[in-house]
Chains A and B, each alone.
Chain A
Amino acid sequence: MAEAHPAPVLELAGIVKTFPGTRALDGVRLELHAGEVTALIGENGAGKSTVVKCMTGIYQTDGGEIRMDGKAIAFPTPQAAAAAGVTAIHQETVLFDDLTVAENIFLGHAPRGRFGLIDKAAMRRKAAAILGGIGAEIDPDVLLRDLGIASKHLVAISRALSIDARVVIMDEPTAALSHKEIEELYDLVDELKRQGKAILFISHKFDEIFRIADRYTVFRDGQFVGQGLMSETSETELVRMMVGRSVEQIFPKRAPRIGPELLRVTGYSHPTEFEDIGFSLREGEILGFYGLVGAGRSEFMQALIGLTKPSKGVVRMGEKVMAIRSPAEAIEAGIVYVPEDRGKQGAITQLPIFQNVTLPSLAQTSKNGFLRMAEEFRLAREYTQRLDLRAASLDTPVGALSGGNQQKVVIAKWLATRPRVIILDEPTKGIDIGSKAAVHDFMSELAGEGLSVIMVSSEIPEILGMSDRVIVMREGRIAAELEGDGLTPETLVRHAAGISTAEAA
């Protein structure tokens, strides 16, 4: 295995990173070698982004050691990491549209001339040399906004090279690229390897990992699972390491009482985001929507509730064809959507609890455009009590509540509309394990009362533990519908990542 090789350039050993209520990294290790690509593999929430942030000085580790060339080193700031030659190219490139390519490459460390002014000529010359070195035909003087996404990536990479990077981290660099652009990126990675850079490559796409990586490291739930050479492993083995088996016991066991079909969606399409989405949903059912980030799940849900307009598609509830053109009409039809980013899209923190709870139900709690306060308080009291929300008063602004209680306000708000279908988008993202269990219990309780639940989730244990049936989306389309014995971690990952089923058999 790796022993034959010289010592790694950058080595992480026993890294621990905790956040209130969670342990994001639990003694992970990672080794990066000069002139080699190491793929970091793991499900969402495995700790991949956290470890990148620890390596680039954005987070401080709570334990463990980072070694460079065998010597312990610390990255108290992003600048320190950059000075040590560690640089990251992010999923969404952090660049400036209104600056030129050369300015983007040298922002913060531009060559200086007399009087400390920026030496533009030198900057342009050096930028052209770096761009030329990676075979990019980009004029250093054009504005970044005039470039395509692939060229922007090249600029980001050039910026990484301009600080004489020894370690280059690429976080899902191909997520937004076309097929041809991806090939060009592979060539570039090969070029970086030849220059002796140690590369960390994060990707969910297995074909890509096998095409480009020399080594792999697998994380699961913030822990190190294994590492090795790509030439000595297989897709099946990597998938097995990624998904593991354990966590099932924390999910509430329930005997679903699934009723007749309540909702049927056919041929929902959007010009750019998703195509031909169709499924049915029965009373009391929890339907999971699984997929990689960016598979179009949230986009579809937002279209379903009328927030964005689909180009075509039909929604039926029972025999009735519904025309849902706005969230207000969706609420009236009994379909509510609890968005993923509850900070930004959920509670209105300046308004008091009772006003938040009644906001989507104002049609019920008002008469001729006038609010009926007594009715509002009654509704708010009923649903906050039901969710066991303890606050001094319903007049308290939601912003003064803890995160968990804000979450309860958001859920109370939607339940108060007495929906028939509730769509929960990543219901447990970013909350601690105790609260997660509470959300899961609550979800089964709702389904037990005959409510139909659509749960969008990127966490495999949650999808497996909660769903009666799962729809897997990939690149804006339905890749598979799984239930019963067909619903396993392996099938989920394969369909979501688009691995050929031939090898699975």
Chain B
Amino acid sequence: MSILKHRETLLVAVIAALLALIASRFPGFVTPRNLAAVFTDTAPLMILALGQMAVILTRCIDLSVAANLALTGMTVALLNTVAPDLPVVVTLVLAIGLGAVMGAVNGILVWKLEIPSIVVTLGTMTIFRGIIFLISDGQWVNAHEMSAGFTGFPRIEILGLPVLAWIAILAIAVMALVMSRTVLGRAIFAAGSNPHAAAYTGIDVGRTQFAAFVISGALAGLTGYLWIARYAVAYVDIAGGFELDVVAACVIGGISIAGGVGTVAGAVLGALFLGVIKNALPVVDVSPFWQLAISGAAILIAVAFNARAGRRQGRVILKSAEQAA
């Protein structure tokens, strides 16, 4: 537990150091207004990372999140072109529901057919992208085809923060509650830590994985609408490759690919780390291509750190076992 806490404090320290470094040359970057903008810009990544975290905790992976996002986004965009006066609440519910259904498809295949999740979601990722092409005929849906209410919603400011940021905060709060205070959250940790032991205690590991995929899908659907509305455009390749950023955020945040270890705070901080880098590089006049190298290096450092932490824990167990004997 102390190691976990330690990891998150470390990540906070790294992000703070990064901000301090940037501020030393460009003080404008750390004004509250700009930091809020960075947070808002990172909101989609944070929301997706929360869902991915649940999936990774159960020893699975969801590579279809970006495709799910794009398909949901395209669907609600097309719907908006034919029914521009649909209330935003209905759009939100539809997006979340549609995303959840796609997540459920992944979950069913993993649960009932016991296909490895990386294969399942690689397949559905391609299928979802294909469906976007079919329903849109490969055409773009542009800003002028969408209603003002549809595109304006994420940008409405409440207490100085846009709705997009507030939705991310809400998602963080809900997921924190689910993970720490519900039976499902406990089952997700147990099933990922030790599936054999969890099965004996009456936890259905497959159903728990299914639930994690539904969560991931629902959050991807939600992000789908927010993304399309924010950029006011929908096309086949939108958010292409973004699923890797999502997985990267989780890994940097200390969520173990081996399952069972990770926190909501970790996922959020991992996403924020990538968000700060992405927003800071243009400011300090570094080529955005460096962003890829930096996030790649961050992943390796995070994984190496996790591996070291795991080893240290192993020694402690042995020592106490010796003392007991």
Which of A's residues lie within 8 Å of B, judged by CB? 20-21, 305, 307, 326-331, 337, 339, 341, 344-352, 355, 359-360, 362, 366, 369-371, 373, 395-397, 399-405, 413, 432
A344 near B260: Cβ-Cβ < 8 Å? no
Chain A hits for B203, CB < 8 A: 328, 359
Given contacts A371-B186, A399-B317, contact A346 B197 (CB under 8 A): yes
Q: How far is the CB of A436 from chain B (nearest CB, A)?
A: 14
Residues in A with CB closer than 8 Å to B198 are 348, 359
Write the residues of chain B forming the contact surface with A, with a CB cutoff of 8 angstroms.
1, 181-187, 189-190, 193-194, 196-204, 260-261, 313, 316-317, 320-325
B315 to chain A, nearest CB (A): 11
By the criterion CB–CB under 8 Å, are B199 and A307 in contact?
A: yes
CB contacts (< 8 Å) of A20 on chain B: these are 321-322, 325
Q: How far does the alpha carbon of A360 sit from the alpha carbon of B187 in the complex, in Å?
A: 10
Smallest Cβ distance from A430 to chain B, in angstroms? Answer: 12
Q: Which residues of B contact A329 (CB under 8 A)?
A: 202
Q: Is the CB of A359 within 8 A of B204?
A: no
- A346-B200 Cα distance, complex, nearest whole Å: 8
From known contacts A327-B201, A328-B202, A350-B260, infer whether A370 and B194 are also in contact, taking CB-CB under 8 Å.
no
Select from chain B the residue with minimum beta-carbon distance to A350: B193
- Among the listed A326, A330, A345, A355, which residue makes an inter-chain contact with B186, where contact means beta carbons less than 8 Å apart? A355
Which 4 residue pairs spanning A and B have beta carbons closest together? A402-B324, A328-B202, A20-B325, A360-B201
> Nearest chain A CB to B66's CB is how many angstroms away?
30
The answer to whether A371 touches B182 (Cβ under 8 A) is: yes
Q: Quick check: A395 and B1 within 8 Å, CB to CB?
A: yes
Q: Which of B190, B202, B261, B320 gathers most chain A CB within 10 Å?
A: B202
Are A359 and B325 in contact, with the CB atoms below 8 A? no
* Chain A residue, CB-CB nearest to B325: A20
| A-side contacts of B199, CB under 8 Å | 307, 327
Question: B320 touching A400 by the CB < 8 A rule?
Answer: yes
- Pair B186/A359 contact, Cβ less than 8 Å: yes
Partner of B183, one of A327, A348, A366, A399: A366
- If A337-B200, A345-B200, A360-B202 touch, does A371 touch B320 (CB 8 Å cutoff)? no
A369 proximity list for chain B (CB < 8 A): 182-184
Instruction: Report the number of A-B residue pairs with Cβ-Cβ less than 8 Å.
Output: 104
| Contact status B261-A350, CB under 8 Å | yes
The answer to whether A339 touches B1, judged by C-beta atoms less than 8 angstroms apart, is no
Contact A401 to B320, CB < 8 A, known contacts A350-B193, A351-B193, A395-B1: yes
Q: Which residues in B have their C-beta under 8 angstroms from that of A360? A: 200-202
Contact sample, A vs B, 16 pairs, CB 8 Å cutoff: A20-B322, A20-B325, A21-B325, A326-B204, A339-B196, A346-B197, A348-B189, A350-B260, A355-B189, A359-B186, A370-B183, A371-B183, A399-B317, A402-B325, A405-B324, A432-B325
Query: Contact: A344 with B196, CB < 8 Å?
Result: yes
Task: List B contacts of A331 (CB < 8 A).
Answer: 201-202
Q: How far is the CA of A404 from the CA of B321 in the complex (A)?
A: 8
Q: Compute how far the CA of A366 lies from the CA of B180 in the bound complex, rounded to whole angstroms.
A: 12
| Neighbour of B201 across the interface among A341, A349, A413, CB < 8 A | A413
Q: Which residues of B have CB within 8 Å of A339?
A: 196, 200
Chain B nearest CB: distance from A6 CB in Å? 44
Nearest to A19 among chain B residues (CB) is B325
How far in angstroms is the closest Cβ of chain B from A18?
11
Q: Are B194 and A344 in contact (CB under 8 A)?
A: yes
Taken together as a complex, chains A and B put the C-alpha atoms of A213 and B320 apart, in Å, by: 45
- In the complex, the chain B residue whose C-beta lies closest to that of A372 is B181
**A351-B194 Cα distance, complex, nearest whole Å:** 10
Partner of B197, one of A348, A371, A396, A397: A348
Contact across chains for B324 and A362 when beta carbons are under 8 A apart: no
CB distance from B187 to the nearest CB of A (A): 8
Chain B residue at minimum C-beta to C-beta distance from A360: B201
B182 touches A359 (CB 8 A): no
B197, A345: Cβ atoms under 8 Å? Answer: yes
Residues of B within 8 A of A401 (CB): 320
6 further A-B pairs in the complex, CB-CB below 8 A; given A307-B199, A337-B200, A350-B189:
A329-B202, A341-B196, A348-B190, A371-B183, A402-B325, A403-B321
A400 touches B197 (CB 8 A): no
Q: Contacts A21-B325, A326-B202, A370-B183 given: A345-B317 contact, CB under 8 Å?
A: no
Question: Which chain A residues border B189 with CB–CB below 8 Å?
Answer: 348, 350-351, 355
Report the separation of the CA atoms of residues A20 and B323 in the bound assembly, to the nearest whole angstrom: 10
Q: How far is the CB of B206 from chain A (nearest CB, A)?
A: 11
The CA-CA distance from A217 to B158 in the complex, in Å, is 85
Q: Are B261 and A359 in contact (CB under 8 A)?
A: no
- Closest CB-CB distance, B5 to chain A, in whole Å? 12
Instruction: Give B185 Cβ to nearest chain A Cβ, in Å.
Output: 8
Assess whether A404 is in contact with B324, with CB atoms less than 8 Å apart. Answer: yes
Q: What's the least CB distance linking A248 to chain B, in Å?
A: 26
- Cα distance, A155 to B182, chains bound together (Å): 53
Instruction: Note all chain B residues with C-beta closer than 8 A to A373.
Output: 181
Q: State the Cβ distance, B260 to closest chain A Cβ, in Å.
A: 5
**Which of A328, A337, A350, A369 counts the most B-chain CB atoms under 10 A from its CB?**
A350
